[in-house]
Amino acid sequence: MSSWSSPVLALSLAGALAACAHAEVPLASEPAAQITINGEGLFPESIASDAAGNIYVSSNPGVIYRALAGSNVAEPWVQPDAGRGAVSAFGVLADDARGLLWVCFNPAMGTEGGAPMIRTFDLASGALAASYALATGEGPAMCNDMTVAADGAVFASEMLGGRIMRLAPGGERFEVWAADPEFATLDGISFAADGTLYANAIQRGTLLRIHRKADGSFDRAEQVQTSRDMVTPDGLRPLSDGRMLQTEGEAGLITVIAFNADGSATVTPIAEGVDYASSVTPVGGRAYFPEGKLRFLFGPDAGKDPGSFVIRSVAIPEVE
């Protein structure tokens, strides 16, 4: 169980998502091993990639940055709408099938009022495509991550109320699909390559397998036994071979999750000493993750210059 204060938790909810594993096909450009994000004080949150190898990163000030395939710089791509008030951008999800980028927006920390929204942007132009409310009812809510089901429905994790929201194909707003005690501090959410839905709870340190009934409705949440204790797990991303990528922010780790025949999971670190990553995405055989540097926002170095922000990467090991 993490000992985070709520402001740190609010910023560090991973962002969403490449919901479906990208087909591992040759990219037009070799990905850069490290990408500089062209901005100051942005404290990146979530990361996603599309099938072409373009990378998208959300930020605390609400700006979405994009690094074109092969580029070593991520530039501002989508600016927040000033007329909607101050917002922070959390989960991002590249939806190649519909040519859209899905983004979770929450009211900026320290501001009052407002409600979480999920908006979509055209992957080609960055133009706003649609906005969707989260019909959570009363009480606080925060949109974290997203994933897309085989039928096109979009699922989103909502942490403060411990709920999974769902946008039905052709729907107009996200409705509560499931609520469960296991969903307390729910963060990363993703369908694996075999269609199984997984999520992690950042403060509980758990990985959940979420069972659905034959009609697609919620059945139950099951804790997955993991080979090692996890510290602030976040940012689930599927790999086409059935494994998943995950971050562990406070532990400074990027890990690979392999699911075993007995239902357990082997969690293997592939990068250490990371300066707090909330999300990770696969591109061209490498795992890319933005360093959030949250210690400069809430920790012992708060108020000091965090320097530049970068997206680092590490090779994804092959299945043994």
**pLDDT by residue (tens digit) across 57-108?**
999 999 999 999 999 999 999 998 766 667 899 999 999 999 999 999 998 8
Spatial contact of 287 and 239, defined as CB atoms under 8 Å apart = no
What is the rounded average pLDDT of the residues 251-270?
98
- At 13-63, the pLDDT tens digits run 333 333 333 434 446 567 789 999 999 889 999 999 999 999 999 999 999
Is 13 among the domain residues? yes
Whole-angstrom distance, CA of residue 294 vs CA of residue 54: 25
Query: Given pLDDT bands bounded at 50, 70 and 90, which one contains residue 303?
Result: confident
Q: What is the pLDDT of residue 29?
A: 65
Residue 120 has pLDDT above 90, yes or no: yes
CA dihedral of residues 27, 29, 34, 38 (deg, nearest 10): -110
**Higher per-residue pLDDT: 102 or 303:** 102
Instruction: Give the number of other CB atoms < 10 A from CB of residue 162.
Output: 17
Query: How many separate domains does the chain show?
Result: 1
Q: What is the pLDDT of residue 140?
A: 86
Is 268 among the domain residues? yes
Q: What is the pLDDT of residue 6?
A: 35
Residue 8 has pLDDT above 60, yes or no: no
Is 320 among the domain residues? no
**Higher per-residue pLDDT: 303 or 224:** 224
Is 271 among the domain residues? yes
User: What's the token pair of residue 81?
Assistant: 């709408």
Whole-angstrom distance, CA of residue 119 vs CA of residue 99: 13
Residue 110 has pLDDT above 50, yes or no: yes
- At 185-206, the pLDDT tens digits run 999 999 999 999 999 999 999 9
What CATH number is associated with residue 68?
2.130.10.10
β-sheet bridge partners, residue 100: 95, 122
Q: Which residues contact 185 (CB under 8 A, 6 or more apart)?
A: 9, 159, 162, 201, 202, 203, 204
Is 211 among the domain residues? yes
User: What's the token pair of residue 213?
Assistant: 């009934």
Residue 293 has pLDDT above 70, yes or no: yes
β-sheet bridge partners, residue 254: 247, 271
Whole-angstrom distance, CA of residue 121 vs CA of residue 130: 7
Instruction: Give the number of other CB atoms < 10 A from CB of residue 145.
Output: 35
Is 235 among the domain residues? yes
Mean pLDDT, rounded, of the chain: 89
Q: What is the pLDDT of residue 84?
A: 67
Whole-angstrom distance, CA of residue 107 vs CA of residue 140: 11
Percentage of residues of the chain with pLDDT beyond 90:
78
Is 179 among the domain residues? yes
Instruction: Give the number of other CB atoms < 10 A from CB of residue 28.
Output: 9
Q: What is the pLDDT of residue 83?
A: 66
Residue 3 has pLDDT above 80, yes or no: no
CA dihedral of residues 220, 224, 230, 234 (deg, nearest 10): -50
Is 1 among the domain residues? no
Structural domain boundaries enclosing 148: 6-315
Amino acid letter, residue 218: F
What is the rounded average pLDDT of the residues 234-262?
97
